[in-house]
């Protein structure tokens, strides 16, 4: 049986991915960069979902010709597909906002958008 | 009084309900005119059509009440109503269960009821008042022609008549007092009708203030009766018949003041006589003021400043009759024992007789035609009051009625004379007017004869009745009343004397209009001052009044003479009967068990006796029978001495006329008069100046009062005002303190809170930087902080995570 990657390794990768996204979201001035970072964080979460689903999620018995094999159900993966779909919409919305911002400011630097303050 | 009079649907109830409209008609007219005057613009108010319309409204109002009064008078005259205590009665309560509410209003347990009381007296008096006021209003149409404020005049005139009618019909002290005061107000307004004349304004003030003095007494008298009522413990009502019943039920305690105070404070032995005497004398103060009796008669001659029809109204129908009517209405207080004699009545008789005599003497010397009549009114009022004082209440009201007819006639006649002479009032400038105004002369002569009491005229019968009673009272029981009778007879002689003088000066001799000084000609020349006869609108009322003045006495004398009597629980005992003495320590003294009474000199006495005998009979069928028996009884029982006062009165009339004729018509008499005048200048001067009554009152009362007023003013200014100002400054001081507290502390707290919040927010507002990543940082920081603080228990156990990771990597 092939060696299964332990779920903790996936979690560590996911945590790293999230941290990169967090750093990017907080440090980038470019609005598109921020959107990309947000996407990274979202995908980190998706990775977690897949990992948890594979480890602790429901299983079902897969009957082959010769033998019987317990297989984890792909619930996490399916959920992640939904999340990616929604995220695509969200990105489209974000990009539309960025276009509007560019038309107004001739720039997509978020530091120019500081009018709403004290 | 009697339940029979109250029965719904009975004749008495219907008549009383109808009687309510007698005062209401003129008062509605008055209000209508008033509102038109207030609402409409000036050009409409000045228009002829409007003025005619308003005058017609007023006359119609009083005319309607006259018709209703006649209808009621007819029922009383024909004896169709139940008899209670010798008088027919029709009563109704206003605001009763049939109309709105049980009573007028309530004060605690005391239920105040008002209503209409129609008895013989009030039915006769409303008949007189309504028609005399009606005729005077018709007359005013001509007399006041061209007067600019004629509508106002008619408005007040209606109100005046309405208040008198309301007073006559009221069955309680409250509405009586209200109407009484309203009449004072109306007399004030009408006497000062020519308000541009200074003398008119003074006269109106004088009339109002002098009558107010009497009104105060009346008011206090009501209080005394209230006190008596409270002492008995019964719920108070203000109604006359309730009072009369109370006095009747509790009886009278004739013990002296000190005895009562010593032995019986409660009324278990009857109501103390001295309290009733006090109440009666206080009521009589009201009469002295309103009816112009001796000390307070000074306002009446000055009231001549008003228009002549107003004088006629005041002197005949409304104002001065009210005082006499008050005593007649509250006779149960004046004469509670029913003997026709009491200490209060003695005072009444003396004042009345003195006034009758004194005013007659003044009347002899006056020159103003209206002033002579004014003093003759005072004198005649003195006769009425005298009649009340000698126990002849019916005779007093009878004389009041006849006097109203002939005095209205005389005043309106003098108005016609004044109108004819172009507003000259001094008799020295008249003379010979019978050629210029024959009709006025005839009716004026009729009025004069009635006033003199010439045999056959109305004045003769009423005056004769008064003299008979005065004589009887003096002759039979009370010798102190001789002075009253003698003063009365002397006054009658003087009355004839001055009326002859007046007739002579006005209507006989040569016309003296060329003597009129330039200042009194009102811009006319002597030729234009030629006297003229009045128009028909003035003469027709005069003729009607003359008919009444001449013939009104006959049906009363030989018909139903008790018409003018109303005895609210007073049982009269006239003549030689034993007095109903009520002894102390007797719980319910029996008034009705008085002595045998001699049937009276005139019919009203006899009627009364039979009325009592058959007091239980209610119903028209029985009343007729009662009346017949009473009638026959009354005629058969004249005492033999009755001829003496009749002859004396006749003698007085004839001697007065003869003396007047001799002194004024004959040359030698005139010479003698002038020589007497020269011989006794002082006496003449005193009488001519009205005994200096005005001057004495001015000097010893009014001026003293003014000094006292100065003192009161000082008290007012320095004590009362000082107190008020002190209170004000203390209040201001405390207000300053509270203001400081309010502004410093309360506002300080509120503002302080606001300032703290303001300064804090000034510091922390820079957190709102506007940079999106700052906000993001703060969110991350907050979430992480929350995780770290709360993490070890629930959400994120970081230690467990580290342990897990170590274990995993360790296991690899």
Query: Taking the model in full, what pTM does it have?
Result: 0.72
Check: CB of residue B511 under 8 Å from CB of residue B430: yes
Across the interface, whether the CB atoms of B805 and A8 are under 8 A apart is answered: yes
Of B771, B777, B808, the CB nearest to A6: B808
Which has more pLDDT, B66 or B93?
B66
Across the interface, whether the CB atoms of B804 and A111 are under 8 A apart is answered: no
Across the interface, whether the CB atoms of B776 and A26 are under 8 A apart is answered: yes
Rg (CA), chain B: 39
B766 contacts on A by Cβ (under 8 Å): 118
Q: Does A25 touch chain B (CB under 8 A)?
A: yes
Neighbouring C-alpha atoms within 13 Å toward the C-beta of B7: 10
A114: closest CA of chain B, how far (Å) = 4
Indicate the helix (H) or strand (E) that contains A16.
helix A7-27
Q: Does B770 touch chain A (CB under 8 A)?
A: yes
Q: Does B705 touch chain A (CB under 8 A)?
A: no
Mean residue pLDDT across chain A: 87
Check: CB of residue A36 under 8 Å from CB of residue A67: no
In chain A, what's the furthest Cα-to-Cα distance?
Answer: 72
Work out the pLDDT band at B759, boundaries 50, 70, 90. Answer: very high
Average confidence (pLDDT) over B151-156: 91
Across the interface, whether the CB atoms of A114 and B770 are under 8 A apart is answered: yes
Print the SS3 string covering B460-518: HHHHHHHHHHHHHHHHHCCHHHHHHHHHHHHHHHHHHHHHHHHHHHHHCCCCCHHHCCH
Alpha-carbon gap, residue B241 to B220, rounded angstroms: 19
A48 contacts on B by Cβ (under 8 Å): none
B804 contacts on A by Cβ (under 8 Å): 8
Residue B385 backbone phi and psi in degrees, to 5:
-65, -35
Q: Does A115 touch chain B (CB under 8 A)?
A: yes
**Per-residue pLDDT at B7:** 62
Across the interface, whether the CB atoms of A115 and B805 are under 8 A apart is answered: no
Of B771, B780, B809, the CB nearest to A114: B771
**Could you read off the pLDDT of B315-370 as tens digits, one per residue?**
888 888 999 999 998 888 888 877 778 888 999 999 999 999 999 999 888 888 89
Across the interface, whether the CB atoms of A116 and B780 are under 8 A apart is answered: no
Across the interface, whether the CB atoms of B772 and A117 are under 8 A apart is answered: no
Burial of B576 (0-12, 13-18, 19+ CB in 10 A): middle
A115: closest CA of chain B, how far (Å) = 6
**Per-residue pLDDT at B138:** 92
A54: closest CA of chain B, how far (Å) = 17
Across the interface, whether the CB atoms of A26 and B773 are under 8 A apart is answered: yes
Prediction ipTM score: 0.85
B772 contacts on A by Cβ (under 8 Å): 110, 113
Of A6, A110, A117, the CB nearest to B768: A117
Across the interface, whether the CB atoms of B771 and A111 are under 8 A apart is answered: yes
Q: Does A8 touch chain B (CB under 8 A)?
A: yes
pLDDT above 60: residue B57: yes
Residue of B nearest to A114 (CA): B770
A5: closest CA of chain B, how far (Å) = 11
Query: Using CB atoms and an 8 Å cut-off, which of residues 51-110 of chain A contact chain B?
Result: 110
B786: closest CA of chain A, how far (Å) = 17
**Per-residue pLDDT at B594:** 32
Work out the pLDDT band at B585, boundaries 50, 70, 90. Answer: very low
Domains of chain A: 7-109 (1.10.287.3510)
The number of residues in chain A equals 118
A104: closest CA of chain B, how far (Å) = 17
Q: Rounded to whole angstroms, what are the CA distances from B674 to B366, B382, B388, B669?
A: 15, 30, 39, 9
Query: Of B267-276, B385-394, B735-744, which gets the smallest average pLDDT?
Result: B267-276
Token readout for B464 is 């004769």
Q: List beta partners, residue B93.
A: B115
Check: CB of residue B136 under 8 Å from CB of residue B412: yes
Q: Does B640 touch chain A (CB under 8 A)?
A: no
**Per-residue pLDDT at B588:** 29
Across the interface, whether the CB atoms of B808 and A110 are under 8 A apart is answered: no
Pairs of CB atoms within 8 A across A/B: 34
B773: closest CA of chain A, how far (Å) = 6
Across the interface, whether the CB atoms of B770 and A115 are under 8 A apart is answered: yes
pLDDT above 60: residue B584: no
B807: closest CA of chain A, how far (Å) = 10
Question: What percent of chain B shows pLDDT beyond 90?
Answer: 30
A73: closest CA of chain B, how far (Å) = 24
Of B765, B770, B804, the CB nearest to A8: B804
- Residue B34: CB atoms within 10 Å: 16
**Could you read off the pLDDT of B77-102 as tens digits, one per residue?**
888 777 776 677 777 777 665 555 56
**Per-residue pLDDT at B68:** 94
A6 contacts on B by Cβ (under 8 Å): 808, 812
Across the interface, whether the CB atoms of A6 and B777 are under 8 A apart is answered: no
Q: Rounded to whole angstroms, what are the CA distances from B379 to B113, B259, B352, B384, B647?
A: 37, 40, 8, 9, 21
Alpha-carbon gap, residue B332 to B468, rounded angstroms: 22
Check: CB of residue B210 under 8 Å from CB of residue B298: yes
pLDDT above 90: residue B557: no
Residue of B nearest to A29 (CA): B773
**Could you read off the pLDDT of B693-738 as tens digits, one per residue?**
888 888 888 888 899 999 999 999 999 999 999 999 999 999 999 9
Of B768, B780, B804, the CB nearest to A22: B780
Q: Does A12 touch chain B (CB under 8 A)?
A: yes
Check: CB of residue A55 under 8 Å from CB of residue A11: no
For residues A38-52, b (16+ Cβ closer than 10 Å) or e, as one string?
Answer: bbbbbbbebbbbbbe
A111 contacts on B by Cβ (under 8 Å): 771
B803 contacts on A by Cβ (under 8 Å): none
Across the interface, whether the CB atoms of A117 and B770 are under 8 A apart is answered: yes
**Could you read off the pLDDT of B486-517 as tens digits, one per residue?**
999 999 999 999 999 898 888 888 888 777 77
Burial of A99 (0-12, 13-18, 19+ CB in 10 A): exposed
Mean residue pLDDT across chain B: 81
CA B346 to chain centre: 23
B777: closest CA of chain A, how far (Å) = 7
Q: Rounded to whole angstroms, what are the CA distances from B388 to A108, B105, B381, B478, B483?
A: 121, 34, 11, 15, 15
A110: closest CA of chain B, how far (Å) = 7
Residue of B nearest to A34 (CA): B773
Q: Does B48 touch chain A (CB under 8 A)?
A: no
A8 contacts on B by Cβ (under 8 Å): 804-805, 808-809
Query: Of A90-94, B445-449, B602-606, B763-767, which gets the smallest average pLDDT?
Result: B602-606
A110 contacts on B by Cβ (under 8 Å): 771-773
**Could you read off the pLDDT of A25-70 as tens digits, one per residue?**
999 989 999 999 999 999 999 999 888 888 877 887 777 777 777 7
DSSP symbol at B561: G
């Amino acid at each position: 049986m092939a060696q299964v990657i332990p779920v903790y390794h996936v979690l560590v990768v996911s945590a790293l991915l999230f941290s990169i996204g967090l750093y990017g979201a907080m440090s980038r001035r470019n609005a598109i960069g921020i959107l990309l970072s947000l996407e990274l964080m979202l995908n980190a979460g998706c990775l977690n979902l897949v990992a948890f689903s594979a480890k602790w999620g429901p299983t079902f018995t897969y009957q082959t010709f010769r033998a019987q094999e317990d297989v984890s159900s792909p619930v996490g993966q399916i959920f992640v597909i939904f999340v990616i779909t929604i995220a695509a919409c969200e990105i489209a919305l974000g990009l539309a906002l960025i276009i509007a911002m560019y038309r107004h400011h001739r720039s997509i630097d978020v530091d120019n958008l500081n009018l709403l303050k004290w | 009084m009697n339940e029979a009079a109250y029965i719904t649907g009975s004749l008495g109830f219907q008549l009383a309900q109808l009687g309510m409209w007698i005062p209401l008609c003129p008062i509605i007219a008055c209000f209508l005119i008033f509102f038109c005057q207030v609402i409409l613009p000036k050009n409409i108010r000045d228009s002829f059509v409007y003025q005619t319309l308003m005058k017609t409204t007023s006359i119609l109002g009083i005319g309607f009440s006259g018709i209703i009064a006649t209808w009621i008078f007819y029922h009383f005259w024909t004896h169709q109503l139940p008899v209670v205590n010798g008088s027919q009665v029709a009563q109704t309560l206003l605001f009763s269960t049939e109309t709105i509410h049980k009573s007028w209003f309530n004060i605690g347990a005391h239920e105040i009821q008002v209503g209409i009381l129609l008895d013989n007296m009030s039915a006769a008096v409303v008949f007189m008042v309504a028609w005399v006021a009606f005729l005077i209003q018709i007359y005013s149409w001509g007399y006041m022609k061209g007067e600019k404020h004629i509508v106002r005049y008619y408005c007040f005139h209606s109100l005046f008549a309405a208040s008198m009618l309301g007073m006559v019909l009221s069955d309680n002290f409250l509405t009586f007092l209200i109407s009484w005061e309203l009449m004072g107000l109306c007399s004030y307004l009408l006497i000062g009708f020519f308000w541009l004349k200074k003398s008119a304004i003074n006269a109106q003030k004088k009339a109002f203030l002098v009558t107010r003095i009497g009104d105060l007494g009346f008011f206090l008298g009501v209080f005394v009766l209230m006190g008596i009522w409270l002492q008995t413990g019964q719920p108070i009502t203000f109604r006359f018949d309730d009072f009369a019943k109370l006095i009747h039920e509790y009886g009278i305690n004739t013990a002296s003041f000190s005895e009562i105070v010593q032995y019986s404070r409660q009324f278990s032995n009857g109501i103390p006589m001295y309290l009733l005497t006090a109440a009666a004398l206080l009521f009589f103060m009201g009469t002295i003021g309103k009816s112009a009796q001796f000390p307070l008669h000074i306002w009446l001659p000055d009231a001549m400043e008003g228009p002549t029809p107003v004088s006629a109204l005041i002197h005949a129908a409304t104002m001065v009759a009210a005082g006499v009517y008050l005593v007649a209405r509250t006779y149960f207080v004046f004469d509670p024992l029913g003997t026709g004699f009491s200490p209060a009545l003695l005072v009444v008789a003396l004042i009345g007789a003195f006034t009758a005599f004194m005013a007659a003497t003044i009347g002899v010397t006056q020159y103003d035609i209206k002033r002579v009549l004014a003093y003759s009114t005072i004198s005649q009022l003195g006769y009425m009051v005298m009649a009340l004082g000698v126990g002849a209440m019916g005779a007093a009201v009878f004389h009041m009625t006849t006097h109203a007819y002939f005095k209205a006639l005389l005043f309106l006649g003098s108005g016609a004379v004044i109108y004819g002479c172009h507003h000259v009032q001094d008799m020295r400038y008249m003379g010979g007017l019978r050629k210029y105004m024959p009709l006025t002369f005839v009716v004026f002569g009729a009025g004069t004869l009635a006033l003199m009491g010439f045999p056959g005229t109305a004045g003769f019968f009423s005056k004769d009745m008064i003299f008979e009673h005065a004589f009887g009272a003096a002759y039979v029981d009370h010798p102190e009343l001789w002075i009253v009778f003698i003063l009365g007879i002397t006054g009658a002689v003087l009355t004839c004397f001055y009326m002859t003088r007046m007739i002579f000066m006005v209507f006989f001799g040569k016309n003296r209009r060329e003597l009129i000084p330039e200042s009194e000609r009102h811009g006319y020349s002597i030729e234009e001052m030629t006297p003229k006869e009045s128009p028909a609108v003035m003469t027709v009322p005069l003729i009607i009044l003359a008919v009444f003045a001449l013939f009104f006495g006959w049906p009363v004398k030989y018909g139903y003479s008790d018409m003018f009597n109303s005895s609210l629980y007073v049982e009269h005992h006239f003549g030689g009967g034993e007095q109903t003495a009520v002894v102390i320590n007797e719980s319910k003294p029996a008034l009705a068990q008085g002595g045998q009474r001699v049937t009276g000199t005139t019919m009203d006495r006899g009627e009364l006796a039979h009325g009592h005998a058959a007091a239980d009979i209610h119903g028209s069928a029985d009343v007729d029978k009662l009346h017949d028996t009473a009638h026959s009884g009354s005629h058969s029982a004249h005492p033999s001495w009755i001829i003496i006062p009749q002859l004396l009165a006749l003698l007085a009339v004839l001697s007065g006329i003869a003396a007047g004729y001799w002194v004024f018509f004959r040359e030698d008499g005139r010479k003698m008069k002038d020589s007497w005048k020269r011989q006794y200048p002082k006496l003449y001067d005193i009488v001519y100046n009205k005994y200096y009554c005005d001057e004495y009152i001015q000097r010893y009362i009014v001026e003293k009062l003014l000094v006292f007023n100065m003192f009161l003013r000082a008290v007012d200014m320095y004590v009362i005002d000082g107190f008020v100002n002190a209170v004000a400054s203390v209040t201001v001081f405390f207000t300053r303190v509270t203001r400081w507290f309010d502004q410093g502390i309360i506002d300080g707290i509120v503002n302080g809170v606001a300032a703290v919040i303001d300064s804090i927010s000034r510091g922390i507002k820079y957190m709102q930087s506007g940079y999106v990543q700052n906000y993001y940082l703060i969110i991350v920081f907050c979430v992480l902080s929350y995780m770290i603080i709360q993490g070890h228990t629930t959400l994120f156990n970081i230690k467990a995570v580290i342990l897990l990771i170590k274990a995993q990597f360790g296991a690899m």
